[in-house]
Chains A and B, each alone.
Chain A
Amino acid sequence: NAGVTQTPKFQVLKTGQSMTLQCAQDMNHEYMSWYRQDPGMGLRLIHYSVGAGITDQGEVPNGYNVSRSTTEDFPLRLLSAAPSQTSVYFCASSQDRFYEQYFGPGTRLTVT
């Protein structure tokens, strides 16, 4: 099993550009989530999904969109990048929200 994979590992965007961070898991997990990690702050939940076709907002959803068309994939879209979105982004999955979470390796995003 590959576990949770994320692409790209690094990305530099200019303000106003859009892009999609990819996340995939091969463990047939229903629960998937996106977090951002900023210096001095804990991981913060952006969006989550409890199954294909079902998504909801987390703590810091503004400026991000998600969709979940399959169990395996949970892409995160930045609509119009801003410097405040410079961060490290982690995708995670788990069998259910109460179970152990498996994290992807992260994407380091810089917006100039």
Chain B
Amino acid sequence: KNEVEQSPQNLTAQEGEFITINCSYSVGISALHWLQQHPGGGIVSLFMLSSGKKKHGRLIATINIQEKHSSLHITASHPRDSAVYICAVHFSGTYKYIFGTGTRLKVLA
């Protein structure tokens, strides 16, 4: 069983739709990161969470520590949001980051 599971694997949306990407993990964590990988391959860090909620522009990330679950929301989606979104978890007591396999998002105009 993967330690970090993301869903869905692929997502196609129309411009303007509200999008949710989910991440679940198996054991206690110190921090959870959301990353964006552009079609050209570059990786950018979007959020780091250890509790609660963070917002940046049209992006919102939440985490529920008890349920071991995090969500990334995109409001008013735009074609430029098309990318792979990756959840990465830093497990408590280790230096390990474990990455999900990513959610490939395509937003159509």
| A residues apposed to B, CB below 8 Å | 33, 35, 40-45, 48, 50, 56, 58-59, 88, 90, 92, 97-103, 105-106
CA gap between A34 and B33 in the complex, in Å: 17
Number of A-B residue pairs at CB separation under 8 A: 54
**Interface residue count for B (Cβ, 8 Å)?**
23
Tell whether, in the assembled complex, residue A103 and residue B42 are in contact, meaning their CB atoms are under 8 Å apart.
yes
CB distance from B43 to the nearest CB of A (A): 4
In this complex, what residue of B is CB-closest to A88? Answer: B41
CB distance from A82 to the nearest CB of B (A): 23
B-side binding surface: helix, strand, loop or mixed?
strand
CA gap between A77 and B4 in the complex, in Å: 29
CB distance from A11 to the nearest CB of B (A): 15
Partner of B101, one of A41, A48, A56, A97: A41
Q: Is residue B63 contacting chain A, with contact meaning CB distance below 8 A?
A: no
Tell whether, in the assembled complex, residue B86 and residue A103 are in contact, meaning their CB atoms are under 8 Å apart.
no
